[in-house]
Chains A and B, each alone.
Chain A
Amino acid sequence: MSLHATTWQTVGPFFKIGFSWLYRDNLAGSGVSGERVEISGRILDGDGKPVPDGIIEIWQANSNGKYAHPDDAQEKPIEEGFTGYGRVATDDEGRFHFTTIKPGRVPGPGGKPQAPHLAISVFTRGLLRRLVTRVYFPDEPGNAEDFALNLVEPARRGTLIAKKIEGEPGKLEWNVKMQGGGETVFFDV
C-alpha cells in the first residue's frame, strides 16, 4: 500500500527565523567555471505591490550541464565547490538578487537538450504551497526548441526569460508576478 505525501502549509510571515541560516546569494564561488550572471528582480502580488516576505530557491546544473546529485549519471564533470543551490529573501521593496553562473544544457524528454535554465521555487506568506517556475536566458538559441518553453502559450513565455539590463553586462532582470496581468508562468511538478 502506498502512502500519500504530507500536505503543504504556508511558510507564513516569519520564515526568516528558520530559513536565514541557509541564505546563499552567491552560487558561484571563486574557481567555479562558467559565465557569471547577476540576476535581480522583484516579487509582486496581484495588485503590483512588492512582496517583502518572500523567498526564492534556485536549483541548477553547473556550466557543463551536470547536476551535483547522484542521480545525474551523465558523463560530465562535477565541480568542487559548486552545489547548484541558492536561497535568497526579498527585502522591504520585494527585491531579491543572486549571483551564479549560466548553467550548461541538461537532457530533457527523449534525451533532447533543454535550453540553459534555473529551476525556481517561490515561497511567500499567502502561498499555501510553493510556486515552481524556471528562469531562462536571453539571446539563447536553444530557447526556441526548449520543451518546457514550448509547453507554454507563446504570449506568456517571456515571463520565464530573464532580460538584459542595458549597459550592464552580466546583469539580468527577472521578476515574479504572482497574479494578474503579466502573471509569471508557474509549473505543476
Chain B
Amino acid sequence: MNSIPGYRRYYPGTQPPHLHPGYVSSLRRAPLQPLVPLPHTLSEITGPVFGPEIADVKATDLTRQHSGEPLGERIIVSGRVLDENSRPVPHTLVEVWQANAAGRYLHSRDQHNAPLDPNFTGCGHAVTDAEGRYRFVTIRPGEYPWGNHYNAWRPAHIHFSLFGPAFATRLVTQMYFPGDPLIPYDPIFNCTDDEKARNRLISLFDWETTIPAQALGYRFDIILSGRESTPMETHAHGEKR
C-alpha cells in the first residue's frame, strides 16, 4: 500500500493565493501560517462517489424549474471535464449557481435592489457523461455591484463546483463571458498571477452548441488535477508524463 500514486500539485502561478489584498474579504479570512504540505494517502486519493440516482434532468435546465420562463437571454453552457493528463472525467458531479438576468441572487443576504425573478432560482447540477461532457440550459446572469471598493461591479459569471474522482481533485471556480468589459477590473478574476490560467476562466462563444432561434452557446472546459505517473507507468511508456 505504499505505492499509491497521488494527484499532481498545482502548477506554480496557476492558482490564487489565499491572501489577495485586492479582494478585501480575504484580509481577515486567509490563513497567515504556511500551509503544511500533505503527502497524498488513501484519504486524499479517494473521495465522495455519487451514484447515477443523483442525476436529474430538471436540474440541468435552469429555465424550466418554475411554471413560467425566466426573463433574460437563454444560453447553453456546456463543455468537457478533463484531467491534467487530457483524460475525460466521467460520471462526476458538476454544480452551478448564479444571479438572475438582473444581477440578483435568490439569497436572503443579497441586498442589491434589482428585481428577483419568480421563475428563476439560479441553481442546477449535472453529471458528466462517459466522455466527461456536461450541458446546462440557463439564462445569461447579470453583472451586479458589490461592496469591495468604490463603484465595484462583478463581471457576469456562473459559479461551478466539481468533485472529480478524489478529495484531492475538488474544484470550485467561476466561469466568465467573452468580451465582458468588467473582467479587467475584477479583483476576484485577477487574483491569479498566471494570465493564461486566468483567461481559461472565460468561456468561448460556440456556434456548434448555439441553437438557431433559441439560445447562444458558450463552451467552458474544466481541468481537474490529474494522477501523477507511477513508476510502473514510466516503464510501460518509456517516458514520464
Interface residues of A (CB under 8 A from B): 1-19, 21-22, 45-47, 49, 51, 53, 57, 59, 61, 67-72, 74, 83-85, 106-111, 114, 117, 119, 121, 123-132, 147-148, 151-152, 156, 178-180, 183-189
Contact = CB atoms under 8 A, between A and B. Distances in A.
Contact of A72 (B42, B82, B83): B42
B31 A186 contact: yes
B105 A17 contact: yes
Interface in B28-81: 28-33, 35-49
A183 B41 contact: no
B101 interface: no
Given A2-B85, A4-B197, A111 B109 contact: no
B125 interface: yes
Contacts of B226: 2-3, 5
Interface stretch (B127-135, B168-176, B177-185, B204-212): B168-176
A125 B25 contact: yes
A1 to B, nearest CB: 8
Nearest to A68: B49
Q: Which of B32, B33, B223 has the most CB of A within 10 A?
A: B33
Contacts of A111: 1-2
In the complex, the 3 A-B pairs of residues with the closest C-beta atoms, listed nearest first: A18-B97, A126-B25, A85-B48
Given A19-B95, A84-B48, A8 B38 contact: no
B102 interface: no
A179 B125 contact: no
Given A68-B49, A107-B42, A127-B18, A187 B36 contact: yes
Contact of B29 (A4, A5, A68, A124): A124
Contacts of A178: 28-31
Contacts of B35: 186-188
B84 interface: yes
Nearest to B221: A6
Contacts of B95: 18-19, 22
Q: Is the interface of B mostly helix, strand, loop or mixed?
A: loop
Given A18-B96, A184-B31, 9 more contacts: A3-B84, A8-B15, A9-B172, A15-B161, A17-B123, A126-B26, A152-B36, A156-B33, A188-B37
Contacts of B215: none
Interface residues of B, number: 82
Contacts of B25: 10, 125-126
B152 to A, nearest CB: 13
A131 B31 contact: yes
Contact of B223 (A4, A18, A74): A4
Nearest to B24: A126
Nearest to B125: A21
Contacts of A107: 1, 41-42
Interface string B120-149: 011101000000000000000000000000
